[in-house]
């Protein structure tokens, strides 16, 4: 078995400052479903935290609370010391079912937010150009969504989210519809951007390999009601590249996290504080 390598933080932390603090959060829907019960954990500035857990354990609900799109029933969520609603400017959300406007070209989809904010055209065009470059889509700026592959559409929605220059990125299963090769490429691309932009990230996925490859930490949620079952530091060195997936350490981490997740699915997990 591979020796566990020293884990280094990819982004230097300014201080031990939880950029996202989730404390004793319970979310009940009017229909009676308790989506989350007493969920607590923090995400430090510059961390990449993935949420794993069976369908219905409250992953999307939790991201929506952090984004200020929904409010808690009990407990508190703070983002950079503010309420999520007040912190909205810092946050970009890429949804599970991200859709582009079919009648707008790529560049006009990416620039939509800036148009709504009435940003002057030259500034808008320059920002859009930069963001398309970041995601490697300069060449398809004039195309319409129907002329793009699934991976390209995803990159357009990432570019659209980046236009507001967020510090915090919330991603809800952004690569679920992609084949494995494209997903691997997108993961590498996302890591490159994460390191360059020094974002704080919360990422939802059903893929253990994806979570291990990307994250500094993984939070495993258990369902009915949604609660934290495990919080795990990913024991894998940085930087992570294509080759990382071929290492024994990687395989070992995927195995370790998969076993924890299976325990949750089969109902063995005990709630932790
Ligand atoms: N707006 C809503 N009204 C009522 N119940 C809801 C609402 N949104 C979510 N729920 C319920 O809350 C629970 C958690 O849902 P959520 O979508 O957060 O799960 P999830 O972990 O994201 O699942 P998946 O992996 O399938 O995306 C589920 O039981 C769901 O039915
Ligand atoms: Mg979901």
Question: Would you state the pLDDT for residue 162?
Answer: 87
Question: Would you state the pLDDT for residue 8?
Answer: 62
Place of tokens 């560049």: 107
User: pLDDT digits over 141-177, tens only?
Assistant: 999 999 998 778 888 988 998 888 899 999 999 888 7
Coil, strand or helix: which one is 95? coil
| 141 shares a domain with 14 | no
Q: Is residue 88 part of a domain?
A: no
Give me the DSSP letters along 27-93: EE-TTS-EEEEEEEEEEETT-EEEEE--TTSSHHHHHHHHTTSS--SEEEEEETTB-TTTTGGGEEE
| 52 shares a domain with 31 | yes
| 105 shares a domain with 240 | no
Q: Is residue 206 part of a domain?
A: yes
Q: Which of 5-14, 79-88, 118-127, 237-246 has the lowest mean pLDDT?
A: 5-14
User: pLDDT digits over 63-89, tens only?
Assistant: 999 999 999 999 999 999 999 999 999
CA of 197 to the centre of ligand 2 (A): 26
Q: State the CB neighbour count (10 A cutoff) for residue 40.
A: 16
Question: Would you state the pLDDT for residue 16?
Answer: 63
CA of 165 to the centre of ligand 1 (A): 29
The band of 3, judged by pLDDT with boundaries at 50, 70 and 90, is: very low
Question: Would you state the pLDDT for residue 57?
Answer: 95
Residue 211: what are its φ and ψ, rounded to 5°?
A: -60, -45
Coil, strand or helix: which one is 219? strand
Mutation pick for ligand 1 pocket among 28, 33, 226 (CB with most ligand atoms within 8 Å): 33
Whether the predicted pLDDT of 10 surpasses 80: no
**Which of 126, 141, 165 is where one domain is finished?**
165
What residues sit around ligand 2, an ion, with C-beta below 5 angstroms? 60
| 147 shares a domain with 55 | no
- Mean pLDDT across the chain: 89
| 68 shares a domain with 174 | yes
Look at the chain and report how many structural domains it folds into: 2
Q: Is residue 238 part of a domain?
A: yes
Q: Is residue 87 part of a domain?
A: no
Owning domain of residue 104: 99-165
| 186 shares a domain with 210 | yes
| 191 shares a domain with 269 | yes
CA of 60 to the centre of ligand 1 (A): 7
Residue located nearest, by CA, to atom 25 of ligand 1? 55
| 137 shares a domain with 8 | no
CATH number at residue 205: 3.40.50.300
Question: Would you state the pLDDT for residue 177?
Answer: 78
Q: What percent of the chain has pLDDT over 90?
A: 70
Whether the predicted pLDDT of 189 surpasses 70: yes
Mutation pick for ligand 1 pocket among 26, 27, 29 (CB with most ligand atoms within 8 Å): 29
223 lines ligand 1 (CB under 6 A): no
69 lines ligand 1 (CB under 6 A): no
54 lines ligand 1 (CB under 6 A): no
Q: Is residue 93 part of a domain?
A: no
């Amino acid at each position: 078995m591979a020796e566990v390598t020293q884990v280094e933080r990819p982004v230097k932390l300014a201080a031990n400052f939880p950029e996202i603090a989730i404390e004793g959060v319970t979310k009940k829907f009017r229909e009676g479903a308790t989506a989350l019960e007493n969920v607590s954990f923090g995400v430090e500035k510059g961390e990449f935290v993935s949420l794993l857990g069976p369908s219905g354990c409250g992953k999307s609900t939790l991201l929506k609370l952090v984004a200020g799109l929904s409010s808690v029933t009990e407990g508190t969520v703070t983002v950079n010391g503010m309420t999520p609603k007040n912190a909205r400017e810092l946050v970009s959300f890429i949804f599970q079912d991200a859709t582009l406007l079919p009648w707008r070209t790529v560049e006009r989809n990416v620039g939509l937010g800036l148009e709504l904010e009435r940003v002057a055209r030259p500034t808008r065009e320059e920002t859009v150009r930069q963001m398309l470059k970041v995601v490697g889509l300069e060449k398809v700026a004039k195309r319409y969504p129907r002329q793009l592959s699934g991976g390209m559409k995803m990159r357009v929605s990432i570019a659209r989210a980046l236009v507001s220059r967020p510090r915090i990125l919330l991603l809800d299963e952004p690569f679920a519809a992609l084949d494995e090769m494209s997903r691997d490429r997108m993961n590498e691309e996302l890591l490159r951007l994460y390191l360059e932009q020094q974002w704080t990230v919360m990422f939802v996925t059903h893929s253990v390999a994806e979570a291990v490859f990307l994250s500094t930490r993984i939070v495993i949620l258990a369902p009915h009601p949604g609660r934290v079952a495990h919080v795990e530091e990913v024991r894998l060195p940085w930087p992570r590249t294509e080759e990382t997936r071929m290492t024994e350490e990687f395989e070992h981490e995927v195995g370790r996290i998969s076993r924890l997740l299976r325990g949750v699915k089969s109902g063995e997990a005990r709630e932790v504080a």
